[in-house]
Structure 1
Amino acid sequence: MRWRKTKPGEAPAAPRSTRSRMLIAALCGAAGVLAFAPFGWWPLQILSLAVLVYQALRAESVRAAALVGWAFGFGWCLAGFHWLYIAIHQFGGMPAPLAAIAIALLAAAMALYAAGAMASTAWLRKRWPLPLPAATLLVLPACWALFELLRGWLFTGFPWVTAGYAHNTSPLAGYAPLLGVYGISWLAAITAGALPLLMHPFRYKAIALVAAIWLGGLALGRVEWTAPSGKPLTVRLVQGNIALKNKFDIQHIGDTLRQYQQAVTAQPADLIAIPETGVPLFASQLPTGYLDAYGQFARRTGSHIVLGMPMTNGVEYSNSVLGLPPSLAVSAYRYDKHHLVPFGEFIPTGFRWFTNLMQIPLGDQTRGAVIQAPFPVKDQKVLPNICYENVFGEEIAEQIALTGATVMLNVSELAWYGDSIAIPQHLQMSQMRALETGRPMLSATNSGATVVISPRGEVLHALPYRQPGVLSATVQGMSGDTPYIRLQNKLFLALAALSLGAAWLWSRQRRG
């Protein structure tokens, strides 16, 4: 089916080559990063995806559609997480050319998911066969979101710059408590698929569908899925802004330990937290009485203290947080990170040669349990997660469903990525977790973003980036389950399956 009919006497336009389609797709994919934080031009996410829809479905073959999708994904991913270069070159010590090649290869690998989405759409359109509206409104959005979910799961997952994150402030954010970030990706893809239909006879129905989706998001944004639980907590989140070159340097560790201890013990609060590896040594390596000084302060003031630090049993070690309660009758709390960063926290099979090219401390760790109890703080249940774990919404939702946590706490060390877009993007993901679960999110980081986020995904309080400070606030815990907490991605998967089923029925009716 042609997208545009030629006028009488008008020669048909020469078909665009696959290479030119790939170039257009790659440029649009790279431009799509402007839809995410810190830029926040979320309409650009839909427009760039609409260009991909147009170029991929006009490709001459399934293979050509896959190549166009791959080019889009390469531009999207390279622009979206180019900042990894800072970690592996500046701090990891990998030579600049090798670091650049590594980032390009990672983007090329992640682009295969976009290639799979476009190839699947083109193949199904030819296999069934499908009219254009069925392909752009039913099949392509489902394939796009399903392959994004696959990218966030396969080989431990790398769901950075998932399309739905661009919409944490758009009307589609109202769907987060129901469908999560992948469901929002699906709805955004439906909108993108409708744009090329504006010159098609089906355009009025497509416009009506998109209007219903976006008005529905506005209405859902007014729904209160959770309710206040217990009394508010006073919190203090410490941002040390310790330079990474000093953090693990034996000559400067003493200064780091003193800085955090002084900040924590300067004033009491119900909950006081320092960042991931804020204490960069194992307990056995710390000065005598160091941890006990925190415990004494906690007991004297009634404070609950969370320290990010590595933990070991002498053989294995983990990236952990230690929770010190204000009572000797209560055991110390421990949370071990379970979703580890490939190459940074564990070494994938066959890639030790790659990690040997870098000098990143604490590089091969032990995973904690998937479900771990929250830290009881007065009548609230505080659920920690560490840095990269914040990217996996379905895992956090499952933890809340099974533990009844009322507050989320993320501790992170993001100085690895310098002054880059990684920090506001990580914050954007924290905002999505709050939207999905209807719970406040606290974030304590070394250099930013140290923030308090409301259950509606709004940043209520924040410290300036790259400055030492302490963020003091009052936070209300929330209880009750959003649909996403109960079902995680199951509702989105069911709707995506229904969408594909509807396309198949549409094709059957046409053939019948």
Structure 2
Amino acid sequence: MLKKILLSLIFGGIAVFSYAPFHIWPLAFVSFTGLLWLTADRSKKQAMLLGLSWGIGYFAAGIHWVYISIKQYGELPALIAIIILGFLILYLSIYPMLFAFLLRIANRFAGQFSFKQLVLLAPVLWQLTEFLRGYILTGFAWLQLGYSQLDSPLKGYFPVLGIDGVNLLLTILCGLFVYCIKTINSKTPKMHTLSAFIALLVILFAPILFNNINWTKANDTRSANFVLIQGNISQSIRWTKEQLNKTLQTYTKLTKQNFGKDKIIIWSEASITDYEINQQSFLQYLDNEARAHDSEIAVGIIDYRFGENGYQSNGYIYNTLLVLGEKESYQYPTINRYKKHHLVPFGEFTPLESVLEPIAELLNIPMSSMKSGEAKQPQLQIKGFKFTPAICYEVILSNLMWQNFTPDTDFLLTVSNDAWFGDSIGPKQHLQMAQARALEFGRPLIRSTNTGITAIIDPHGNIVKKLPQFETGALSASVSPTTGLTPYAIWGNWPYLVVMALMFISLFIKKRL
């Protein structure tokens, strides 16, 4: 059993190489196929252990970079940082463990290594546990298996079924593969094995046909002139009082160098490291400068709204993206702004605050207390173009962006500060997930970050221009918006949910496969 646990750990760990920056997409299939193979015929306890070890390998390899933000920027001792990271990995590993457990106890609906178990039950259960991972305590939906397939034949499914649909198809393919291998020399009728193999090939290569479909088309009669400012301010000094003026000077200098007619200038998330109410003079100055040069600027800033009892109590803190340089002069609080809705647990708010606060005080760990904006907010309007915005982590939440997307959206816009994760694979993974959003909606995606990776992504999910990480600079590009709608933009997750429902119903059909 120990050998199987170690093998499961390895199968989980190798999945990291299927994502950016490695892009060895077949390893995602190898990883999940290994999990299925090892757990399908185990006892309940064995299945749980194997699922847990797979999860530990998967998340230890995939999100080890969280240690950087905990240790370096959380200013915690290395041992405490390792313990916190370990608990996070262990918590996330509960979901693969739950999957393996449910797969084992559901044998009443499907026999071991049967078609029902591998191709119907396992994918449905995996999607269920992934849903839970994405929503409990607001969720942590990082590294869904489907993101690894942006360079694979499955890429064509993104505009049709979205990331959840690609996840589902990947697990179905793994189930078909295991079923074919297990039945090729068994008493199972050869026609069943052949049918499964044909289904595998059809699912894998059918999206090649989608590559010839242009779900959206560029509107060449309109063009937006973007300038994305990458300030490259180290996270260790960003929020110090001594650095604030230097940060404003850096962003202002780069902005002035790129002013021009109809320019759309995008600063990164929380690029102004102070409360908006404290920076009224600077914002009014920047607003006037932008208007004088016929430019508009989207600025990331923290908005502290006054509470009933004054500045320091009962206030509301929002992670905000606002627009300067419009026809009407800036006057706090402006309407044309976006407030981040999906906050990062522990980074921006503390779940179970009443329970965890005493522990945090004991360990001298600061607690976060931001507030969420509305789930559905108006489009940001900049220089006559409409943007569906997302701040940092939100860009990995396709359903949230779908709620805010409208048929007349011109661009997707995301701002981020990935300085938290240093020179690790984290920012590369983040960029890859942003690429998936452009592909799903068939819209160019504009991404401005503090330390990188600042990029322009085309409607097909390809990076057409980017700045190197950890360099101060401005990325300029003229980009045409697109018109038309992908199936995913129209229906969102509904087709995927219909497929899931049909698969679930099929489990109760008594014919044994």
Q: Provide TM-score, normalisation by structure 2.
A: 0.90
Q: Which runs of 5+ in 2 are unaligned?
A: 185-191, 307-314
Which stretch of structure 1 is more off in the superposition, 413-422 or 403-412? 403-412
Equivalent residue number for residue 188 of structure 2: none
- Answering whether residue 55 of structure 2 is matched by residue 65 of structure 1, we say no
2:357 counterpart (352, 361, 365): 352
Residues 493 and 150 (structure 1), Cα distance of their counterparts in 2 relative to 1, 3 Å cut:
farther
User: How far did residue 78 of structure 1 move?
Assistant: 1.5
- Answering whether residue 215 of structure 2 is matched by residue 217 of structure 1, we say no
Which stretch of structure 1 is more off in the superposition, 62-71 or 315-324? 62-71
Alignment deviations for residues 95-135 of structure 1 (CA, whole Å, 9 cap, x no partner): 21111111111111111211222222222224454662221
| Aligned-partner residue type, residue 271 of structure 2 | G
Structure 2 CA distance for aligned equivalents of residues 222 and 473 of structure 1 = 26
- Answering whether residue 154 of structure 2 is matched by residue 163 of structure 1, we say no
| Aligned-partner residue type, residue 144 of structure 1 | W
Equivalent residue number for residue 288 of structure 2: 296
- Answering whether residue 490 of structure 2 is matched by residue 447 of structure 1, we say no
Equivalent residue number for residue 162 of structure 2: 180
1:102 counterpart (60, 67, 84): 84
Q: Does structure 2 retain, via aligned residues, the 8 Å contact 1:390–1:429?
A: yes
- Answering whether residue 475 of structure 2 is matched by residue 471 of structure 1, we say yes
Q: Does structure 1 retain, via aligned residues, the 8 Å contact 2:40–2:113?
A: no
Alignment deviations for residues 390-432 of structure 1 (CA, whole Å, 9 cap, x no partner): 111111011104x742211111110010101100000001001
Structure 2 CA distance for aligned equivalents of residues 329 and 259 of structure 1 = 23
User: How far did residue 353 of structure 1 move?
Assistant: 4.2
Equivalent residue number for residue 21 of structure 1: 4
Equivalent residue number for residue 235 of structure 2: 244
User: How far did residue 326 of structure 1 move?
Assistant: 3.2
Q: Provide TM-score, normalisation by structure 1.
A: 0.91
Equivalent residue number for residue 424 of structure 2: 420
User: How far did residue 502 of structure 1 move?
Assistant: 2.2
User: How far did residue 324 of structure 1 move?
Assistant: 1.1
Structure 2 CA distance for aligned equivalents of residues 131 and 504 of structure 1 = 17
What is the 5 A alignment of 1:388-399? Answer: 388-399=393-404
User: How far did residue 226 of structure 1 move?
Assistant: 2.2
User: How far did residue 150 of structure 1 move?
Assistant: 2.3
Structure 1 CA distance for aligned equivalents of residues 434 and 359 of structure 2 = 30
- Answering whether residue 224 of structure 2 is matched by residue 233 of structure 1, we say yes
Which stretch of structure 1 is more off in the superposition, 328-337 or 470-479? 328-337
- Answering whether residue 341 of structure 2 is matched by residue 338 of structure 1, we say yes
Structure 1 CA distance for aligned equivalents of residues 449 and 240 of structure 2 = 19
User: How far did residue 62 of structure 1 move?
Assistant: 2.8
Structure 1 CA distance for aligned equivalents of residues 106 and 210 of structure 2 = 33
User: How far did residue 500 of structure 1 move?
Assistant: 2.7
1:150 counterpart (129, 132, 142): 132
User: How far did residue 289 of structure 1 move?
Assistant: 3.2
Structure 2 CA distance for aligned equivalents of residues 128 and 428 of structure 1 = 36
What is the 5 A alignment of 1:117-136? Answer: 117-129=99-111, 132-136=114-118
Residues 378 and 251 (structure 1), Cα distance of their counterparts in 2 relative to 1, 3 Å cut:
closer
Classify the secondary structure of the residue corresponding to 1:188: helix
Residues 227 and 182 (structure 1), Cα distance of their counterparts in 2 relative to 1, 3 Å cut:
same
- Answering whether residue 324 of structure 2 is matched by residue 320 of structure 1, we say no
Q: Does structure 1 retain, via aligned residues, the 8 Å contact 2:224–2:264?
A: yes
Classify the secondary structure of the residue corresponding to 2:123: helix
Classify the secondary structure of the residue corresponding to 1:247: coil
Classify the secondary structure of the residue corresponding to 2:319: strand
User: How far did residue 297 of structure 1 move?
Assistant: 2.1
Residues 296 and 329 (structure 1), Cα distance of their counterparts in 2 relative to 1, 3 Å cut:
closer
Equivalent residue number for residue 189 of structure 2: none
Q: Which runs of 5+ in 1 are unaligned?
A: 1-16
Equivalent residue number for residue 505 of structure 2: 501
What is the 5 A alignment of 1:362-381? Answer: 363-381=368-386
Which stretch of structure 1 is more off in the superposition, 203-212 or 417-426? 203-212
| Aligned-partner residue type, residue 494 of structure 2 | K
| Aligned-partner residue type, residue 277 of structure 1 | A
What is the 5 A alignment of 1:238-317? Answer: 238-268=229-259, 269-286=262-279, 289-314=281-306, 315-317=315-317
Aligned length: 488
Equivalent residue number for residue 409 of structure 2: 405
Structure 2 CA distance for aligned equivalents of residues 128 and 461 of structure 1 = 49
Which stretch of structure 1 is more off in the superposition, 163-172 or 228-237? 228-237
Which stretch of structure 1 is more off in the superposition, 448-457 or 227-236? 227-236
Residues 44 and 358 (structure 1), Cα distance of their counterparts in 2 relative to 1, 3 Å cut:
farther
Classify the secondary structure of the residue corresponding to 1:152: helix
2:25 counterpart (32, 37, 42): 42
| Aligned-partner residue type, residue 511 of structure 2 | Q
| Aligned-partner residue type, residue 105 of structure 1 | F
Tell me how large the CA RMSD over aligned residues is.
2.0
Equivalent residue number for residue 392 of structure 2: 387
